[in-house]
Copies of this chain bind each other. A is one copy, B any other.
Amino acid sequence: MTNTNRIINFSAGPAAIPESVLLEAQSNLFNYKGLGLSVMEMSHRSKAYDAIHNDAINDLKTLLNVPDNYRILFLQGGASMQFAMLPMNFAQHQPVDVIHTGSWTKKAIDELKKGYQYRVVASSEDQKFLGLPDASKISFNDDAAYTYMCSNNTIFGTQFKTFPTHSKRPLVVDMSSDILSRPLNVSDFGIIFAGAQKNIGPSGVTVVIIKDELLDTCHPDAPVFFNYTSHASANSLYNTPPTFGIYIAHLVFKRLLELGGLKEQEKQNTLKANCLYQAIDESSQFYCPVPKEDRSPMNVVFRHQDHNESIESAFISEAKAAGFDGLKGHRSVGGLRASIYNAQELAQIEQFSTFIREFSKKALVHSH
């Protein structure tokens, strides 16, 4: 536990939120900036909420250096809703090219199976998703509706370091688990989307960054609520948005700008990931199943050398007693996982790395 009696939270999402953001939200929860009401109680058509909403859009635009020919939308439903919305709008007449890298692209494929055409143009299924296809070598189809991929897989702990910008069709990327962890060249993408609950804020907000020219091609028969143009033309106020979540997201955006933007985040995230992977690589007890070049700096997946589940359980229990929580691997794969999004600080990762070293030594003595 830290001196604030807070745990160090390695949950994959919903995940840790910066303490400064929580403290600011807490002090304003009952009476926002002296206006006499909580952000949760503000009409989404009020001046006070309008300022929060537009500041959130503008600060995100600054952070990611989003060009003027892109729109930033705040929707609901998480990535799962995007899996269904994307083909409704863009895949009525053409197949989708999919890069399949695990559970999240599987869910997107499951939605495509509900009446759309798609082709898996690259897959890491033969590696059990514990690695990634080489993005630069994938062949795409020029007649595809769009190219679909997920940048970072939370379950298998993989991350694309570069994007396949040679596709001639719009690149649509699920960045739920690594958005804002590094700078992006937004012009390389047709659509970027992300559920908020990893690097942005609370669950219930989905960020969509969409190129104007794609908005013009949304299928007119798509349900009004699931048509991106409904939300774009109303500046994400087509219906009542998740106002409180957008407010928290804005506090996170503001903090990242104050900390120096995404180059600084990338630097910190690299230091954090290197520190933790090194502790695992050097451990006599644990190993990381992902090859170095594909490892995610967000979700560090590791296992006991012999997949000994009782040692993994003991690790989780002892870690929890020491104040480190959320370390269980995803229920579909088991093992261990430490999610280290932007909100985690290097000092916390160093503490945890020390814990891994000490546990490994102790386990080694115990096993002799």
A residues with a Cβ closer than 8 A to B are: 1, 4-7, 9, 11-17, 19, 22-23, 25-26, 29-31, 34-38, 40-46, 76-81, 83-84, 88, 107, 110-111, 114-115, 195, 197, 201-205, 221-226, 238-245, 248, 323, 325-326, 331
Contacts and interface: CB of A to CB of B under 8 A. Distances in A.
Contacts of A205: 204
A147 B83 CA distance: 30
A-B interface, 9 closest residue pairs, ranked by CB to CB distance from nearest = A204-B242, A7-B36, A84-B223, A80-B239, A76-B76, A26-B29, A40-B202, A11-B43, A204-B204
For A197, A241, A331, the residue with the greatest tally of chain B CB atoms inside 10 Å of its CB is A197
A326 B47 CA distance: 11
Contacts of A243: 14, 202-204
Nearest to A6: B36
Given A6-B31, A11-B42, A42-B14, A242 B242 contact: yes
Given A224-B110, A242-B242, A243-B203, A41 B5 contact: no
Given A9-B37, A14-B243, A245-B204, A80 B238 contact: yes
Contact of A44 (B14, B40, B107, B115): B14
A9 B31 CA distance: 12
A314 to B, nearest CB: 19
Interface residues of A, dominant DSSP: loop
Contacts of A110: 224
A212 B110 CA distance: 25
Nearest to A2: B36
16 contacts: A4-B30, A6-B36, A6-B37, A11-B43, A14-B240, A14-B243, A23-B30, A25-B29, A36-B323, A40-B202, A40-B248, A43-B326, A76-B204, A80-B224, A203-B244, A204-B245
Contacts of A17: 38, 40-41
Contact of A22 (B29, B81, B238, B239): B29
B240 A242 contact: no
A6 B30 contact: yes
Given A22-B30, A195-B240, A43 B224 contact: no
Contact of A46 (B11, B22, B203): B11
For A13, A14, A78, the residue with the greatest tally of chain B CB atoms inside 10 Å of its CB is A14
A41 B29 contact: no
B13 A38 contact: no
B80 A225 contact: yes
Contacts of A23: 30
A225 B111 contact: yes
Contacts of A78: 76, 239-240
Nearest to A13: B240
A111 B34 CA distance: 41
A201 B6 contact: no
